[in-house]
Amino acid sequence: MGWKVRNCNTELGTQMKPRIPHTKPSITELEIRYATDAAANGWGEKCYEYIQRFEEAFKEHLGVEYAIATSSCTGALHMGMSALGIGPGDEVILADTNWIATAAPVVHLGAKSVFVDILENTWCLDPDLVEQAITPRTKAIIAVHLYGNLCDMDQLLAIGEKHGIPIIEDAAEAIGSVYHGKRAGSMGRFGTFSFHGTKTITTGEGGMFVTNDDALYEKVLTLSNHGRDRRQTKQFWPDMVGFKYKMSNIQAAIGCAQMERIDELTTRKREILAAYRERLAVLPGLSMNPEPVGTINGAWMPTVVFTLETGITREKLQDAFAAENIDARVFFWPLSALPMFDEIRNNTNAWSIHQRGMNVPSYHEITERELNCVSEVIKTLAT
């Protein structure tokens, strides 16, 4: 391979080197105690107790009127877009750089995903291209706050207001991110979050739908319970065909504990990103998660992106990390590169950045030695 990493136990064989995981949840005795209580006692009249507590804590933290705990962020997106009436023949604009979870609900509803390019500096939706992509069939714009980076919400919200199109925030990766005093997920028509085991706040699997729109909340609440309106007096009487995207009480119990620790968890993520920035600041041609003036990056996923001129590729990064038994993961592929969608190679940033970027380990308990080891791999490759 040609590289030799300093201060990273290079004298050991790869199989003998301690594995540095990419991510894992921070679970304490508090989470275990709450989950145990939910498993032992959270039944019958108490079957929704932790769910309601979790929803209350989350909406208070976010500063929104309504929150509905769901089985996934994808489910929250699906119900929210369904409640907006999105269906066959409609178009939804989103960035080409995303995980498929954002596009899948659009497909499920029979609508068309319109992929536009990302900005080179934020890796998020390009607002100018969004406006150019609007047609009479456009029914929503999804702003994905990628890796904790923030979309330009002022410009996107202005575009939405100008054209009468709702802005949806996919904040699956952005708990802890703040845009000019407003938390990610709280600014659009509705927002969604993920509590997958890799996320800053976790319930194992799970998600949250949030909104300030009374009518939309009632519609999604009904959809989330097989179409049964909470005001319906007849038992087992659905008023529409809905979904089953509920979170379990045991999952919510873990979420309640995580919310009690949310400042600790989000602060630690930001400390890890800052540690990488300090260690890698000397490297030319490298950028990391941006934090424009007036914003706070929740730093879910510290990511390195090299310029084309450096010649450092995804594959070189993968090989270098693998040699040191470090679990890093690739930058999201363009959705338009996937076989189920049409290629859009004009989305030049989306089709370029993923070839020279990598997510680096950032689990909460990562040690100074491990941070140094990951950083040394990158510095050795870049010098």
> Running DSSP on this structure, what letter comes out for residue 107?
H
Q: Residue 330 in contact with residue 359, Cβ under 8 Å?
A: yes
Angle at 208 between CA 203 and CA 213, to 5 degrees: 165
- pLDDT score of 186 more than 70: yes
pLDDT of residue 1: 42
Instruction: Kindly list the domain boundaries of the chain, sorted by start residue.
Output: 14-25+262-382, 29-260
- pLDDT score of 5 more than 90: no
- Can you name the CATH fold of 29-260? Aspartate Aminotransferase; domain 2 (3.40.640)
Q: Residue 19 in contact with residue 367, Cβ under 8 Å?
A: no
pLDDT of residue 336: 98
Q: Residue 272 in contact with residue 368, Cβ under 8 Å?
A: no
Render pLDDT for 264-276 as a digit per residue (tens, 0 to 9).
999 999 999 999 9
pLDDT of residue 11: 45
Tell me the pTM. Answer: 0.94
Helix (H) or strand (E) holding 251: helix 249-260
Q: Do 14-25+262-382 and 29-260 agree at the fold level?
A: no
- pLDDT score of 13 more than 90: no
- Can you name the CATH fold of 14-25+262-382? Aspartate Aminotransferase, domain 1 (3.90.1150)
For 123: left if phi > 0, alpha if psi spans -120 to 50, otherwise beta; the answer is left
pLDDT of residue 3: 47
- pLDDT score of 45 more than 80: yes
pLDDT of residue 16: 72
pLDDT of residue 363: 97
